Amino acid sequence: MNSAETLLAMDRCPRAAFWGEKWEAPAVHPNEVLRRAVDAGLLTEEEDPGQLAGDMVMTEAAERTLDIEGSQYTCAVHTAALADIVVTHSWKGLGEMSVYQMPMTMTVVLIGQRRDGRHHSPWSKAWLHPRSRTLRIRKRSGEFDGKWIECWRETSDFSRDHWIDHMRQDYVLNDVLFEKEIKMPEQAMLSKIGHLAEKKLKRLADMTEIPDPTPSVCDWPTKCQFNNVCWQFRPEPTERDGFIRITETLVHP
């Protein structure tokens, strides 16, 4: 985990943060894989960051197991296409501003509800005219009837740039992509945030005993990766349970 993720884990459950420095569950939720891939794509200097993000999803899915029911391959290909198009176009925010001393623009991308391994949103789903095969993200008048053909980006022949152009033409891009300027807090507040982050990270680094569990957050807002091990009252996860040992830990900013 990076420093921002560690701080978030500490706020949620110190035990999960403690174990998370050494262990990672074998199955990764597709949304977590998507987040990692988008982060990598936005930070890379590669010529095609979208391609890199999509490739990273496929690599993660091949090397690990996606934490879903249903087709691993279908979900992986869909998530890779979503990472590609999204990249082409709290603690984490406050902590980064306190470190870099720069304001931040927060970009919010609405990827839609995930059902049957796919996200239902204009980033991934559109419709084809039954005769002309024209792509439509949103119908410009009336509603799509039963003759229109459902179209998913990962199985279509349309390029990502063509898809994004149609999102603009059908006036849906502004519905699923928002930007919010986050102003810099005053210097005194940044200093307090920085000191608090250092204090929390040092507390984690100095821990020698397993912290008590925090039952109220075991399944909220998402299920903790250590849920089963924790409730079996084991001293820590093990490779026999399928967990992967993290060889390098990064807890300091």
- Can you give the C-alpha Rg of the chain in angstroms? 21
Residue whose pair of structure tokens reads 């980006």 in the numeric block: 153
Angle between helices 72-88 and 30-43 in degrees, nearest 10: 30
pLDDT for residue 1: 65
Q: Is 157 exposed, middle or buried (0-12, 13-18, 19+ CB in 10 A)?
A: exposed
pLDDT for residue 206: 95
pLDDT for residue 220: 83
pTM of this structure: 0.76
The pLDDT profile of the chain, 253 residues, written as one tens digit per residue, is 667 889 989 999 999 999 999 999 989 999 999 999 998 988 888 889 999 999 999 999 999 889 998 899 999 999 999 999 999 884 455 566 667 777 778 888 999 999 988 999 999 999 998 889 889 998 777 767 778 999 999 999 999 999 999 999 999 998 999 888 888 888 898 899 999 999 999 999 999 999 999 999 998 878 899 998 999 888 899 999 899 998 754 444 4
**Contact between 11 and 48 (Cβ < 8 Å):** no
Residue whose pair of structure tokens reads 């084991």 in the numeric block: 234
pLDDT for residue 24: 92
Residue whose pair of structure tokens reads 């095969």 in the numeric block: 133
Rounded Cα distance, 58 and 203, in Å: 36
pLDDT for residue 179: 84
**Where do the domains of the chain lie?**
105-181
